[in-house]
Amino acid sequence: MKIGPKYKVCKRLGTGIFEKCQTEKFVLAQSRAAKSKKIGKKRPKSMTNYGRQLIEKQKVRFTYGISEKQFSNYVKKSINKKEVSPSEELHKSLENRLDNVVYRLGFVKTRRMARQVVSHGHIMVNNKKVTIPSYNVNVGEKISIKESRKSNGIFINLNKTIQESPLLPTWLSIDIKKMEGVVKGDPIYSPSELLFDLQSVIEFYNR
């Protein structure tokens, strides 16, 4: 998926999109830029519902690093499933991606790195190599680092990487010594804790 200059994307969609934009230096730069724009400028026009929905869609896509076509398929699948709300189902589909689970477990520092280690054959699911980042991980499955790859430079300081990673979600567990994690349950959908509005995304595709 082509992204383009990450700082420009962050300026347009928000600092939470990429890890490199979540620094104090970037936030301060954004704050100074916002103040300078206010000087001598007219009041900005209010955004339309379509504009807001489009931005929320882009936030989700760039956060998970998914192409437009792939993301559209996720949304259509979520809308067609009647057992749960489309927003909850979409969240589950995105969080259950293997690359996202590898990132959530703290094996690597970014989702982009997670996609790379999966694609390069570093990751095992139930002791079988899986090289598809979009692979849907199910409850009870074990995600581990391939034995022959544990000495790879990417994983040398794994303990430190895990300690510095965001808080491990309650639906995952990890054994640092064995370098493996287990999916204990379904991802918990909590709209107030997300950096984007999935309901707006559903509305965008339902237009």
User: How far is Cα 122 from Cα 19, in angstroms, rounded to an integer?
Assistant: 22
| Sequence ranges of the chain with CATH classification 3.10.290.10 | 97-183
Average pLDDT, the chain: 85
Q: pLDDT tens, 88-128?
A: 999 999 999 999 999 999 999 889 999 999 999 999 999 99
Q: pLDDT tens, 127-142?
A: 999 999 999 999 999 9
Q: Are strands 180-183 and 123-125 parallel, antiparallel or unpaired?
A: unpaired
Q: Is the dihedral of CA 136, 138, 194, 75 positive or negative?
A: positive
Q: pLDDT tens, 2-18?
A: 555 665 666 656 656 66
Q: Which two tokens stand for residue 199?
A: 């309901």
Q: pLDDT tens, 17-34?
A: 666 566 556 556 556 655
The CATH number assigned to the domain with range 97-183 reads 3.10.290.10
- The H-assigned helical ranges of the chain are 6-13, 24-38, 49-64, 68-80, 86-95, 98-105, 111-119, 158-164, 198-205
User: How far is Cα 24 from Cα 30, in angstroms, rounded to an integer?
Assistant: 10
131 DSSP β-pair partners: none
Q: Give the distance from CA 139 to its chain's centroid.
A: 19
